[in-house]
Chains A and B, each alone.
Chain A
Amino acid sequence: MSTDQLMRIRDVKTWFQISRGLFGKQVYVKAVDGVSLDIGRGEAVAIVGESGSGKTTLGKTILRLYKPVAGEIYYNGRRIDNLEEEELKWYRREAQIIYQDPFGSLNPFFTVERILSEPLTIHKVAKDYREIKQMINQALIDVKLEPPEMFASKHPHMLSGGQRQRVAIARALILKPKLIVADEPVSMLDASVRVEIMSLLESLQKKYETSILYITHDLATIKYFSQTLYIMYAGKIIESGPTRDVLREPLHPYTQALISAIPDPNPENKWRYRNVPGGEPPSPIAPPSGCRFHPRCPRFIAGKCDTVEPQQIKVKSIYVACHLYS
């Protein structure tokens, strides 16, 4: 394993057990069903997929908020997928999360200072109150909530959506983690604020050499902020590679559909219909046989796509799981 690699995830499966019917026959929701990915040190990686594709579950599995049922997760070469909760405390300090909803992720009864001091006291990183105060000030300055003294005493409801998300970022960064999972960090914010928050995250990521895993459905924004892109569909990675290459020349029909569905502000849009597949993403309980996209795929090959599951193959710089290229 090369030294610049932080996370190595191999064939991870996260299934949830649900019982159905009177006799409680066990069925599984296969939210993540065999995913492999790598995150480099200081790298920004994006996972893009629609709701229900399993991208959030994958993010939480990587953080070990869920325990996978199969597969291996290595952090800095150390295996963490099989550790128990009490053995994971050191990892909690190294890997942090930023949630989508800045209105729900901050405790409304706490002041900003209390919100930011919690991780410090739990992990016992500061030796006294003065040091805690100092670290909080620095964290607030980092996320441009200035003057820090003013913001430290506020409660979340006194802040705008963008400011709240800055507090969430400060909380995630205050322990100087090596990895941050950002789960749709800007999707609840206004278009103009989105860019500001993403730019802030990017500059802090560079400053502290943190790796970031962005989980999003927004391909247009992620283009500016990630180097590597993974496209997820129904619990699997169907295409991955350098962000710009994938966006310029998407190979998988699903990726092509995702890209063609994004409206750029262009007056010509008014005059054309978008060429996107209809239908709905499949049920994660009983996903389609063969390629999981085949029922919606415009280039479906009968007898092949519906029976044989496509394997990842490398086409130039991109890995794709699609029979069109095998």
Chain B
Amino acid sequence: MSTILALKDLKLYYRTRRGVVKAVDSVSFDLKVGCCLSLVGESGCGKSSMAYAIMRILPRNIHTYSGEVVFEGKNLMVLPEGELSKEVWLKKMAMVFQGAMNSLNPVLSVGEQVSEVFTLHAGMSKTEAQEKAAELLELVRLPSSLINKYPHELSGGMKQRVVIAIALSMRPKLLILDEPTSALDVITQANIINLLKKLQEDFHLTYIFITHDLGLASELSDYISVMYAGRIAELGDARSVLTDPKHPYTQKLLAATPKLFEEAKLEFIPGSPPDLASPPTGCRFHPRCPYAMDSCKVKEPDLIKLSEDRYVSCLLLERV
């Protein structure tokens, strides 16, 4: 399988009143075509920033945006803006934003919002675009009669489907899903996940799935990357990360995930995630880590390769 996306030493720092916030700090990985990589971590670990850095949709207060984002052989970071918006966004990669249900315009009908993509990006006439919009709604299992409805007439799950439809309108190859189900009920969530699985099969899509729920991540992932304080703590194929976690943070995160059919006692991770404006020295997890050694306070661990597709950044494993 060929690589569709390669990040090399990606950094995204924000300038804020409290100082420089290192939201994404030296992240590298390769993603193969048709796979799903989940980015898992607590709030404020830089998961969403990573998505913005990959898409190159950046706020104004950027301090550093460096490294490489190589998508299908092109470094997006140096691509002219015009080419990015004309050739890449929606056509090659698209994103479903967090709280996307609220990103629909309340005064435009569903049909207008879905067909807008086709009139703007594909230069279709209005009637053509409406037909395409109806097709697109069927793709996400919505009745095409929804075209004349307004967002407030739809349920949360339906709105989420509309947003997914818009993201898929120009048949992108890579879809970034930022907590696509976080405001939905469990049954609706399961229906949306079923849909995402089907779409991935049908269109051979590549997903980057952002979530804080390891259970949900197990639904879609081929690979899981556990993020902590702007860095990758552990990266590997989903099976080994879920069944044989190596990084203490991943182990704690799994122990804190409620399991319906197991009797294991739930644990929690003491302390709170660090402030990214002044992260701890050495390993960023050391203040909360049960195995922290003296060296963890000073030495920053590298992401070391344990085996094929398996990386961990922890000094405990570096010694061996």
Contacts and interface: CB of A to CB of B under 8 A. Distances in A.
B252 A191 contact: no
A318 interface: no
Interface string B187-217: 1111101100110000000000000111111
Consensus secondary structure, chain B interface: helix
B242 A261 contact: no
Interface string A174-200: 000000000000000011111110010
A51 B187 CA distance: 11
B155 interface: yes
Contact of A274 (B158, B190, B238, B252): B190
B273 to A, nearest CB: 8
A277 B260 contact: no
A262 B188 CA distance: 11
A265 B214 CA distance: 6
Contact of B258 (A220, A258, A270): A220
Contacts of A50: 185-188
B42 interface: yes
A267 B253 contact: no
Nearest to B265: A224
Contacts of A194: 256, 268
B166 interface: no
B254 A261 contact: no
- Which among A51, A193, A217, A262 has the highest number of chain B CB atoms within 10 Å? A262
Given A192-B256, A195-B256, A263-B219, A258 B187 contact: yes
A139 B194 CA distance: 45
A133 interface: no
A4 B216 CA distance: 40
Interface string A252-289: 00000111111111110110011011101000000000
Contacts of A273: 194, 197-198
Contacts of A203: none
Nearest to A274: B190
B157 interface: yes
A31 B214 CA distance: 34
Contacts of B197: 273
A220 B213 CA distance: 12
Contact of A192 (B188, B220, B222, B269): B269
B185 A269 contact: no
Interface string B241-284: 01100000000111011111110001111101000000000000
Consensus secondary structure, chain A interface: helix
Contacts of A217: 185-186
A191 B253 contact: yes
Given A190-B43, A193-B272, A199-B266, A274 B193 contact: yes
Contact of A266 (B42, B186, B191, B242): B242
A51 B188 CA distance: 10
Contacts of B109: none
Given A191-B213, A273-B194, A265 B187 contact: no
B66 interface: no
A195 B266 contact: yes
Interface of B: 42-43, 141, 155-158, 185-191, 193-194, 197-198, 212-222, 238-239, 242-243, 252-254, 256-262, 266-270, 272
19 contacts: A50-B187, A191-B213, A192-B252, A192-B269, A194-B256, A196-B270, A199-B266, A221-B258, A258-B187, A259-B260, A261-B190, A262-B215, A263-B219, A264-B260, A266-B218, A267-B239, A270-B221, A273-B194, A280-B155
